[in-house]
A and B are shown apart, each in its own frame.
Chain A
Amino acid sequence: MKRHLISAADLSRDDALLILDTAEELAQVADRPIRKLPTLRGRTVVNLFYEDSTRTRISFEAAAKRLSADVINFSAKGSSVAKGESLKDTALTLEAMGSDAVVIRHPASGAPHRLAGWVRGSVVNAGDGTHEHPTQALLDAFTMRRRLGRIDGLRVTIVGDVLHSRVARSNVLLLHTLGAEVTLVAPPTLLPVAVSAWPCEVSYDLSGTLPKSDVVMMLRVQAERMSAAYFPTVREYSRRYGLDAERMALLPDHAIVMHPGPMNRGVEIAAEVADSPRSTIVEQVANGVSVRMAVLYLLLSGAGPALDEIGTGSPAATEAEIAEVAR
């Protein structure tokens, strides 16, 4: 991983564990009387949101503020984007105002990747189209490790609209890197064509998969991206692929239920499941702040990209060390 966090696939195992370990320490900040660290004082983080979002934007904003960074929020609605300004021009404008990092959410897959070629600061992908959402995968992995103590060897079942889900793709890539076994369960119409090339299993039978799952992650049915009839009725989808109390009883005792939110209660997840003690949905939100603090800290605090350096040991580090010894 370089200066940016665009895809979960960019993260090596060491990078990912470094982020999770850092997040573990930063999670303590939430329990302190003063929930703030001075680390990113004087740095500016721009939240560039071209798509609606509540929890991700607020989570990034809270994370940056807890590290004392200045935060500029930008949403496409009510900005010059409505007048036709391009992504590149918007990005260059923001950079001219002195942003050190851009957190971008965009409806087009690949927008963060393009942006990374245009700006000098770090780019963090906060969800691009149906492509990736790496910080969500990191916070999901963090939640699993906190609840179940490990990720290596966990059997994770991801259920629902995989085709439109950037969460599913990032999770499959990251969890594979961290040694979990992922099974996707979805109607055939809601699986990407290339899913056979993903490092995971595929099943169409939810009830048969649940008894062998340590984690079940329900995905939102994304009505806003459904341009065709992917399943006959919501009721039929809910019957076959929804998680209700009866299905939840098939899970092993220790298993947890996750959902990236926002939930459609009664469609992919029943209210009694969402509110059960097995559900980690509220924890996921709290963990999201810690994980995003870790990502911003590791990308922004040092002279160079931390993840790259710690993963491989770059020559730049040695020079800095020599300088410190001399000091």
Chain B
Amino acid sequence: MTHALQPGAESASAAGTRPARSAPLPGGKIVLEPDEISRALTRIAHEILERTNGGADVVLLGIPTRGVPLARRLGTKLAQVEGRPAPAGSLDITMYRDDLRLRPARKLGHTAVPSSGIDGKTVVLVDDVLYSGRTVRAALDALSDIGRPRAVQLAVLVDRGHRELPIRADYVGKNLPTSQRELVQVLLTETDGQDAVIVGLSPAGAPGQAVEASR
């Protein structure tokens, strides 16, 4: 949950539309270290190149919050491997969620589609955690309102299982079997000051921090 805007900041968007940093889950177990995250992304980048004919016409769209820096990192890695930069943007799915009526209205994330557009491109959606699949369902709806990609693929850093919709990822950083009582938290340097994937038990008192990463 993105809480109050930072005091003193004129605008959250001017400040980069970032929620407050998440602190690591107390008592959580680190399952991916920074270098493991980096290696997983490198592998995903290579897989994307294999499956898309060298990354021609690939557009990376990250789902806020933490899909966005992941998409940017993948774009950098694609450029390093193939020497061809892949445009990276962000796709906010808040307005397409199916649980809007279950909780107070949310603050919107930022949508920035690369200027090349998505018509006829291969769009790779990027998110941190794949869980119920509902976020991806919303993202597919959001995409179809923006244009008509040739193909849509999904890359996630962590797949924790427990799908509620018929959705699967094309590229997975790490498959992480979890119980539904557990929380999976992804921390990234860009948003949280450090890279880590942490699994912990849901703390009954203060669930707010990890909700973002657990959906």
Contact = CB atoms under 8 A, between A and B. Distances in A.
Interface of A: 14, 17-18, 20-22, 24-26, 28, 32-34, 36-39, 67, 145, 150-152, 297-306, 309-311, 313-314, 316-318, 320-327
Interface residues on B, range: 35 or more
B101 interface: yes
Contacts of B211: 321, 324-325
Nearest to B148: A33
B3 interface: yes
Contact of B103 (A20, A26, A324): A324
Nearest to B134: A327
A38 B108 CA distance: 14
Contacts of B202: 325-326
Contact of B107 (A21, A314, A326): A21
Contacts of B104: 302-306, 309-310, 314, 316-317, 320
Contact of B208 (A36, A298, A318): A318
A38 B105 CA distance: 14
A302 B3 contact: no
A301 B10 contact: no
Contact of B100 (A299, A302, A305, A309): A302
B102 A320 contact: yes
A11 to B, nearest CB: 13
A306 B105 contact: yes
Contact of A306 (B5, B102, B106, B214): B106
Contacts of B145: 32, 34, 36-37
A28 B89 CA distance: 14
Interface of B: 1-5, 10-13, 17, 92, 95-96, 99-111, 132, 141, 145-147, 180, 183, 202, 204, 207-208, 210-211, 214-215
B105 A302 contact: yes
A310 B2 CA distance: 8
A324 B104 CA distance: 12
A57 to B, nearest CB: 24
Given A302-B105, A325-B210, 16 more contacts: A17-B12, A20-B11, A21-B13, A22-B107, A32-B145, A38-B95, A39-B100, A301-B101, A303-B104, A305-B105, A320-B102, A320-B104, A321-B103, A321-B211, A324-B211, A325-B211
14 contacts: A14-B5, A18-B12, A20-B11, A22-B108, A24-B11, A25-B92, A38-B141, A151-B10, A299-B105, A305-B105, A306-B106, A321-B207, A322-B204, A324-B211
Contacts of B183: 325
A34 B146 CA distance: 7
A33 B147 contact: yes
Given A318-B208, A321-B208, A18 B100 contact: no
- Give the residue among B1, B104, B110 with the most A Cβ atoms within 10 A: B104
